[in-house]
Amino acid sequence: MKKKLIGFSVAGALLLGSAGVYASTNSKTLEVFYNIKNIKIDQVSKMPEEKPFTYNGTTYVPLRFISEQLGSPVEWDSANQTINIGKTNEKSAFYPGKDLEYMNFQDSDGSRDTNRFSYSYNDKTISDNIGNEYSNYITISPKTGSDKWSLLEFPLNGQYNTFKTTLGLTEESKDLTKEIKLEVFLDEKLIETYKLSAGDMPKDIELKIKGANKIGFKLSRKDFSGYNDEVGLFDARFYKK
């Protein structure tokens, strides 16, 4: 049995960080035990990258990991400082890979290489640049080289009012050396621009998309960084009301 002293803020990040919650800056030393060798869900071994630990007889496991393994999405409501698991009193969400499929992809070289993007609904998991895991996401990356871009579009057909996601670098891109830019278009009109660099924390964004027929995400790189420049739209979802 491994015993370790950790700061309270670290314990809070392990327990809640995957849902976008962080502990207070007031810290306290805790004695915890890393004595969990395996977690089985429906008789299948499933161990998170962040090791579970025991403190005062209670086992702590990353919240998002358990919830998503059980098929219940986790959402952090920053306005109300609330973690929502599964159904909420908010209007129903619609997800890429479940309710929407992409309509177009192209890049600066005129190709339609499907290896430059991905999206998933409760299938494969990926991590952001600070280790949070997601099973609902969109990823986009341009080809290697300078002045490259990729554009991924989804049909909306005027059905949706709001788009929400957590925007950040994927784990694959956490060491990129040059800034990259994500632009969001509604019906060919640029509505938002986000610049991302190594070390940036993932952030929640919300866009009003009422009446739009399509939404486009364009990731561009001016200078080649030598790394896989990949952006994640984690927990990407659309709302009709």
| 103 and 148 fall within a common domain | yes
| 115 and 222 fall within a common domain | yes
| 215 and 115 fall within a common domain | yes
Query: What pLDDT shows up at residue 12?
Result: 40
Mean pLDDT for 96-110 is: 93
DSSP 164: E
Domain boundary, last residue among 47, 66, 85: 85
**47-61, 78-92, 196-210, 221-235: which range is least confident on average?**
78-92
| 97 and 198 fall within a common domain | yes
Q: Is 200 helix (H, G, I), strand (E, B) or coil?
A: coil
Query: What pLDDT shows up at residue 5?
Result: 54
* Percent of the chain at pLDDT exceeding 70: 81
| 63 and 175 fall within a common domain | no
**Nearest to residue 184, comparing CAs of 236, 109, 128?**
236
Q: What is the pTM of this model?
A: 0.64
Residue 190 has pLDDT above 60, yes or no: yes
| 112 and 183 fall within a common domain | yes
Residue range 146-183, pLDDT digits in tens: 788 999 999 999 999 999 999 999 998 998 888 999 99
| 33 and 103 fall within a common domain | no
Domain boundary, last residue among 19, 54, 85: 85
Residue range 114-129, pLDDT digits in tens: 888 999 998 888 999 9
8 A C-beta contact, residue 174 and residue 197: no
Domain boundary, last residue among 54, 85, 116: 85
| 58 and 153 fall within a common domain | no
Retrieve residue 237's tokens: 């979802």
| 135 and 16 fall within a common domain | no
53: containing domain: 2-85
Query: What pLDDT shows up at residue 40?
Result: 81
Q: How many domains does the chain have?
A: 2
